[in-house]
Amino acid sequence: AQKITQTQPGMFVQEKEAVTLDCTYDTSDQSYGLFWYKQPSSGEMIFLIYQGSYDEQNATEGRYSLNFQKARKSANLVISASQLGDSAMYFCAMREGQRGGSEKLVFGKGTKLTVNP
Amino acid sequence: DTAVSQTPKYLVTQMGNDKSIKCEQNLGHDTMYWYKQDSKKFLKIMFSYNNKELIINETVPNRFSPKSPDKAHLNLHINSLELGDSAVYFCASSQGKGIGHSPLHFGNGTRLTVT
């Protein structure tokens, strides 16, 4: 069963506008972590933001914020004031496995964001 | 100051050959991983090592053999390459034993093409 679902294969946004990339997750663990990564066309994986399941506040990092709705099991990434350089694949991922042991990141299928000038 | 470095960046080879990909991290991290990204961009874990000890082996064919000579290095050797092995292989590392709230730090990937 898919643990991380990203329902938007592709998204388009105008430069300087905000965009929300959706992510829902499935877990029965009480403690878990959610990560977002960016993969530009050059191929590297860039960490953007982290949200822990016990964090009461939504995570923010510069123009990135995470809209964490625990009851809905969603962790949407919000990018404010989009820039052309934001065009990339975006992956949502969840930490899974025994804490301090066999942990791994499980990734969604990604959303390709295109920022139009 | 490369944190996680993989070599080579590109690897083109024929079916049936044996090849290796090397990975080194200078972050002082204890855990290292291999991930495979397929043609649809889906990322899936293959292996993880903590301080030279194999922790995760995610039902990968026996033709794939990771080797960790020390906690800063994790190499991937692939025997009898098949067309389906064509993918981008990412090495990654994390602090401590596992992930916790720290992100994985990825290398830049090795694009393997099997012809």
Average pLDDT for B34-56: 93
The alpha carbon of residue B13 is apart from the nearest alpha carbon of chain A, in Å, by: 21
Average pLDDT for A90-101: 84
pLDDT at res. A96:
83
**Cβ A91–B103 below 8 Å, yes or no?**
no
Mean residue pLDDT across chain B:
93
Confidence at B1, pLDDT banded by 50, 70, 90: low
Select the residue from B29, B43, B44, B91 to test the A interface by mutation, using most A Cβ atoms within 10 A: B43
Percent of chain B at pLDDT > 70 equals 96
Written as six digits, the tokens of A7 are: 């329902």
Q: Name the closest residue on chain B to residue A6, using Cα atoms.
A: B42
pLDDT at res. B59:
80
Calpha distance A48→B39 (Å, rounded): 23
pLDDT at res. B100:
72
Give CA separation, A72 vs A23, A25, A68, in Å: 11, 9, 9
Average pLDDT for B65-94: 96
Per the CB < 8 A criterion, the answer to whether A107 and A4 are in contact is yes
**Cβ A102–B97 below 8 Å, yes or no?**
no
Over residues A37-49, the pLDDT tens digits come to 999 999 999 999 9
pLDDT at res. B114:
98
**Cβ B41–A102 below 8 Å, yes or no?**
no
The pLDDT of residue B98 is above 80: no
**Cβ B108–A44 below 8 Å, yes or no?**
yes
Calpha distance B51→B37 (Å, rounded): 24
pLDDT at res. A1:
58
Q: Which residues of A touch B (CB under 8 A)?
A: 33, 35, 37, 39, 43-45, 47, 50, 52, 89, 91, 93, 95, 97-107, 109-110
Select the residue from B58, B99, B111 to test the A interface by mutation, using most A Cβ atoms within 10 A: B99
Confidence at A100, pLDDT banded by 50, 70, 90: low
Say if strands A64-69 and B4-7 run parallel, antiparallel, or are unpaired: unpaired
Over residues A55-90, the pLDDT tens digits come to 989 999 999 999 999 999 999 999 999 999 999 999
pLDDT at res. A103:
84
Average pLDDT for B34-61: 92
Calpha distance A114→B51 (Å, rounded): 40
- Give the list of residues 6+ apart from residue B19 with CB closer than 8 angstroms, or none: B11, B13, B77, B78, B81, B112
The pLDDT of residue A98 is above 90: no
